[in-house]
DNA sequence: CAGGATAGGTAACGCGCGTTACTTGGTGCG
DNA sequence: CGCACCAAGTAACGCGCGTTACCTATCCTG
């Protein structure tokens, strides 16, 4: 396995551009022939022998196709673009990973353009126009928009020029197809798990009640309870800021509100950060997890859920899957297939750890 | 602000490609003239009037330059490529953000290519070749390699064809310039902070002692102690797995090893995950933070450090800055400037929160 | 043995744009 | 009036490649 210094290819390529012409000359054929074998044409009509000679020449010269020129000539770029503020927020970066991997499989290149967070809070909630523009200049074949958290967004007009799919967000004013987590089913599976463990009095630490995550997860929780013939005691639902401190305070309120015999035996925290705070509130009172109080979270923020003590049982947001599905959907659209559904829901799997 | 439906531009552009020729016709000039005003040539010699006419035509038709064609003709792509496994690991995604933002400022486009984690553990520790190859096919002007954690890497041979900079890693066998965190200075500032708070017996929860992070941070800690006329008691340095559990166990050992009067009054945890575990060990013993034991971490993993109770004082890894500096360095190299230094160290700032 | 059908190629155009060389009409100057 | 000069603009080439139309030799068929 001695590393021979026969890296002539690299040396040759370094001097600014081995082209198909060079390959053709080296192999003693026309450039067209080279193009044919490199693109594996069906009706090839190139003899095995010259095909081999050409491949040798490619190796020998270290030829590397010029993607730009190819795109120009063939009128297709093999690029998708994704506009996202996610780069800023490690939280949902798995969307990108899922999309990347899927694109890679389809031999597409994913161009990632950052979207200014600034816009996201302003009156125009749209993801950034400049990024979209840049991507269109690259002649991407399709566009993806990905948000850090599930919400409605406004998308730039120019988007209408190419197929577009939204991930973890939905078109607030149009009909663009979108991929979003099935919050309701997620809330349901969480509470079902608690019921299955024998809990009957379940406290819920809520998020801002107006966002899709809160609406869906709470509805799911109610469904699960209803099926068990139970109702959600309004006193057991407390709102919290979406932080550890918020979770701590909410948990304190919920735990101190009732005499011990009425105290909930389980807490459904609508996100993991709040669960983190709830842990402190519970431990502070000399209670154990899950012995005295079971806790279940949502989001599966690895850095928290997998490192809390005991490890947090939680419902995962399917970021990676959403990213992959987004690319698949986009591929279908660019291939001219009709839109399957305006909104595709992706399941949120329960991750069993040790807090229930 | 009524939204008029005068989106003729979009409509015009939709039908596959408004070109410079179309603009030229619409403005009644030659394509060359259009090219000149769009690229803002110095020796323009285009009258203000026709320049205006051309710009109007651009607006009217919704013309958008074709980046690929431009690259082909001008022989420069305005693209940098970054090969990284970071997409997989939210941990260091800020490197990408920093690089993105800087590239955006320089009007460059950053192509992000995923690197298979698989390779990173194998005997060939190199970041993936396929990704590099793909990027070179796009004719990127420069390459960046970014790793999730500070270490030596092997880079594909083909890399030598364009300027290359390593971020958060260094070339294990060559001379490629790299940007890495100043671990030593970071360790030093952490311990200095503890000393300043009056601590004299400081425990250290170490990482795998062979990795650059551990070597540097520990050396820095020793330096700070030496300057205060102190030495690091070997019994106070315990190794730990780089997880919360590892930190918990290490903290238990260190806390239980000494009678109360000899017990360290502060713990320097070489990463935040271990600090998270140390918190539990401390609280379990009925001790308070920072009253009885001060804790300082490293890495500034926001999801942990900012949400622990009390919030964790820690030393930040300058991911975003490293990303930006990487792009700046690359810009200098592509501009033909000589390499400043083989290895640029970036400072690790102390983030004061509430655990010291 | 004429005629067509194939295998095995090649010449040449165009993708959209940057760029260099060239043209043209007007103006200043001796 | 003749010449140089400049502002204003254009024709035309080439970037590297995909693709279509064409061309030539060989083989088969009737």
Residue B56 counted as domain residue: yes
Residues A309 and A339 in one domain: no
Triad A64, A114, A117: Cα angle to 5°: 175
If you average pLDDT over every residue of chain B, what do you get?
A: 89
Tens digits of residue pLDDT in B184-243 = 999 999 999 999 999 999 999 999 999 999 999 999 999 999 999 999 999 999 999 999
Tens digits of residue pLDDT in A11-25 = 333 445 899 999 999
Total of domains in chain A: 3
Identify the helix (H) or strand (E) that includes residue B168: strand B164-171
Mean pLDDT of B114-129: 53
Residues A172 and A213 in one domain: no
Tens digits of residue pLDDT in B262-299 = 999 999 999 999 999 999 999 999 999 999 999 999 99
Answer yes or no: is A19 CB < 7 A from strand D. Answer: yes
Residue A72 counted as domain residue: no
User: Do residues B240 and B302 lie in contact, with contact meaning Cβ atoms separated by under 8 Å?
Assistant: no
- Nearest-nucleotide field for A18 (CA, C1'): D16
Q: Torsion angle of alpha carbons B92, B98, B99, B100, nearest 10°?
A: 110
Q: What is the pLDDT of residue A88?
A: 62
Question: Among residues A315, A350, A344, which one has the least CA distance to residue A329?
Answer: A344
Q: What is the pLDDT of residue A16?
A: 58
pLDDT of B57 above 90? yes
Q: Which chain B residues have a beta carbon less than 8 Å from that of A277? A: 307, 309
Residue A352 counted as domain residue: no
- Split at pLDDT 50, 70, 90, the class of B129 is confident
Q: Residue A71 is nearest to which of B68, B161, B309, comparing CB atoms?
A: B68
- Protein residue nearest nucleotide C12, by CA to C1': A32
Cβ density class B85-107: b for 16+ within 10 Å, e for less? bbbbbbbbbbbbbbbbbbbbeee
**Residues belonging to chain B:** 356
Mean pLDDT of B114-126: 51
> How far is the C-alpha of B238 from the C-alpha of A40, rounded, in Å?
60
> How far is the C-alpha of A81 from the C-alpha of A112, rounded, in Å?
6
Q: Residue A301 is nearest to which of B110, B133, B303, comparing CB atoms?
A: B303
Residues B128 and B150 in one domain: yes
What value does the CA radius of gyration of chain B take, rounded to a whole number of Å? 27
Q: What is the pLDDT of residue B267?
A: 98
- Split at pLDDT 50, 70, 90, the class of B90 is low
CATH number at residue B166: 3.40.50.2300
CA/C1' separation A120–C27 (Å): 58
Among A16, A32, A65, where does a domain finish? A65
Question: Of A313 and B160, which is predicted with more confidence?
Answer: A313
Tens digits of residue pLDDT in B23-37 = 999 999 999 999 999
Question: What percentage of chain B has pLDDT greater than the value 70?
Answer: 90
Q: What is the pLDDT of residue A89?
A: 67
pLDDT of B7 above 70? no
CA/C1' separation A72–D12 (Å): 20
Q: What is the pLDDT of residue B87?
A: 67
Range of the domain at B97: 79-182+320-347
Residues A216 and A110 in one domain: no
Residues B191 and B311 in one domain: yes
Per residue of chain A (356 residues), give pLDDT as tens. 333 333 334 333 344 589 999 999 999 999 999 999 999 887 778 999 999 999 999 999 999 999 999 999 999 999 999 998 866 666 778 899 899 989 988 989 999 888 765 444 443 444 468 889 989 999 999 999 999 999 998 888 877 889 999 999 999 887 899 999 999 999 999 999 999 999 999 999 999 999 999 999 999 999 999 999 999 999 999 999 999 999 999 999 999 999 999 999 999 999 999 999 999 999 999 999 999 999 999 999 988 898 898 999 999 999 999 999 999 999 999 998 888 778 999 999 999 999 99
User: Do residues B168 and B92 lie in contact, with contact meaning Cβ atoms separated by under 8 Å?
Assistant: yes
Residues A59 and A96 in one domain: no
Residue A2 counted as domain residue: no
Question: Among residues A77, A75, A153, which one has the least CA distance to residue A115?
Answer: A153
Residue B73 counted as domain residue: no
Q: Which chain A residues have a beta carbon less than 8 Å from that of B134? A: 109
Answer yes or no: is A30 CB < 7 A from strand C. Answer: yes
Residue B206 counted as domain residue: yes
B307 with A276: Cβ contact below 8 A: yes
> How far is the C-alpha of A20 from the C-alpha of A64, rounded, in Å?
9
B68 with A139: Cβ contact below 8 A: yes
Residue corresponding to tokens 């998308």:
A155
| Tokens matching residue B265 | 């009054």
User: Do residues A175 and A332 lie in contact, with contact meaning Cβ atoms separated by under 8 Å?
Assistant: no
């Amino acid at each position: 396995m001695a590393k021979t210094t026969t890296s002539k290819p690299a040396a040759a390529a370094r001097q600014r551009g081995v082209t198909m012409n060079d390959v053709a000359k080296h192999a003693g054929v026309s450039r067209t022939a080279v193009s044919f074998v490199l693109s594996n044409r069906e009706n090839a009509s190139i003899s095995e022998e010259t095909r081999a000679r050409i491949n040798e020449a490619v190796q020998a010269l270290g030829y590397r196709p010029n993607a730009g020129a190819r795109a120009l000539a063939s009128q297709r770029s093999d690029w998708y673009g994704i506009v996202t503020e996610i780069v800023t927020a490690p939280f949902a970066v798995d969307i990108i990973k899922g999309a990347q991997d899927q694109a890679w499989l389809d031999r597409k290149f994913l161009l990632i353009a950052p979207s200014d967070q600034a816009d996201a809070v302003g009156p125009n909630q749209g993801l950034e126009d400049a990024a979209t523009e840049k991507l269109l200049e690259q002649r991407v074949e399709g566009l993806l928009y990905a948000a850090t958290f599930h919400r409605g967004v406004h998308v730039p007009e120019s988007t209408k020029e190419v197929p577009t799919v939204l991930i973890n967000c939905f078109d607030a004013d149009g009909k663009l197809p979108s991929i979003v987590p099935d919050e309701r089913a997620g809330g349901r599976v969480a509470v079902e798990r608690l019921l299955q463990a024998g809990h009957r009095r379940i406290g819920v630490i809520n998020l801002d009640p107006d966002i899709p995550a809160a609406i869906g997860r709470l509805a799911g929780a109610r469904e699960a309870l209803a099926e068990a013939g139970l109702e959600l005691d309004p006193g057991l639902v407390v709102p919290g800021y979406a932080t550890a401190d918020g979770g701590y305070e909410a948990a304190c309120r919920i735990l101190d509100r009732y005499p011990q015999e009425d105290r909930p035996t389980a807490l459904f925290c609508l996100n993991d950060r709040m669960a983190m705070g709830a842990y402190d509130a519970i431990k502070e009172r000399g209670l154990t997890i899950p012995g005295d109080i079971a806790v279940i979270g949502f989001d599966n923020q690895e850095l928290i859920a997998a490192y809390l003590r005991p490890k947090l049982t939680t419902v995962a947001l399917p970021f990676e899957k959403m990213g992959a599905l987004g690319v698949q959907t986009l591929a279908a659209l660019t291939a001219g297939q009709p839109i399957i559904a305006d909104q595709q829901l992706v399941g949120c799997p329960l991750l069993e750890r040790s807090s229930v």
